[in-house]
């Protein structure tokens, strides 16, 4: 029978490696999935999951045991993912990865739909990382603003503002590419 999370957290905060491994086993899959939704790269998501848990272990004394572990782990993972996005060159294959998750355009011509998706993905890739993550989580993933705010460690209003700014920049970029969003 697995040990209750409250016990693991208390031992984890004291530096117990077995408790840390228990938390890792419990939350690894969800943290990986969260990071993958942000970076759209399985290999990078694996590396960032490990990095996130390393950051979590290093910051264990700052964890408030009254709060749930999962949202805190997501915030740490989100920061690691944003750091990774900032280190990437804009022309990295992010646009190709985004094309795979963007909804299909409402047109019967597959060539036109592919062009719209490609231009939209390129516009997403040109967004500043903070805005890109907020837009990906909210618009592409359909996460509620409350979840986006929790992941980014900001208020719900700030999350809404980032999504709004991202959409405004996307609209301007697409118009500059000759598209009417």
Higher pLDDT, 168 or 152: 168
Check whether residue 141 and residue 67 sit in a common domain. Answer: no
Alpha-carbon distance 107 to 85, whole Å?
32
The whole-model pTM stands at 0.69
CATH number (domain holding residue 58): 1.10.1740.10
Contacts of 176 (CB under 8 A, 6+ apart): none
Q: Is 181 within a domain?
A: no
User: Which of the listed residues 62, 87, 112 is the one where a domain comes to its end?
Assistant: 87
CATH number (domain holding residue 126): 1.10.10.10
- Domain tally for the chain? 2
Structure confidence by residue, pLDDT tens digits, 43-87 = 999 999 999 999 999 999 888 888 889 889 999 999 999 999 888
Q: Is 42 within a domain?
A: yes
Helices 145-152 and 69-87: crossing angle in degrees, nearest 10, is 70
Q: Is 39 within a domain?
A: yes
Q: Is 141 within a domain?
A: yes
Domain interval for residue 124:
102-176
Q: Is 147 within a domain?
A: yes
Residue 6 has pLDDT above 50, yes or no: yes
Structure confidence by residue, pLDDT tens digits, 75-122 = 999 999 999 988 886 544 444 455 455 555 555 566 667 777 788 888
What is the model's pLDDT at position 84? 93
């Amino acid at each position: 029978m697995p040990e209750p999370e409250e016990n693991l957290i208390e031992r984890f905060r004291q530096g117990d490696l077995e408790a840390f491994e228990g938390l890792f086993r419990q939350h690894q899959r969800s943290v990986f999935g969260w990071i993958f939704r942000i970076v759209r790269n399985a290999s990078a998501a694996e590396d960032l999951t490990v990095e996130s848990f390393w950051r979590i272990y290093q910051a264990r004394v700052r964890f408030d045991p009254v709060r749930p572990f999962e949202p805190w782990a997501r915030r740490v993972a989100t920061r690691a993912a944003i750091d990774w996005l900032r280190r990437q060159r804009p022309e990295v294959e992010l646009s190709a990865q985004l094309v795979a998750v963007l909804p299909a355009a409402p047109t019967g011509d597959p060539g036109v739909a592919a062009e719209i998706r490609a231009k939209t993905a390129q516009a997403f890739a040109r967004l500043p990382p903070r805005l890109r993550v907020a837009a990906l989580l909210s618009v592409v993933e359909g996460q509620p603003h409350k979840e986006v705010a929790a992941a980014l460690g900001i208020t719900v209003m700030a999350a809404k503002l980032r999504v709004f700014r991202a959409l405004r920049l996307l609209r301007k970029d697409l118009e500059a590419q000759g598209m009417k969003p």
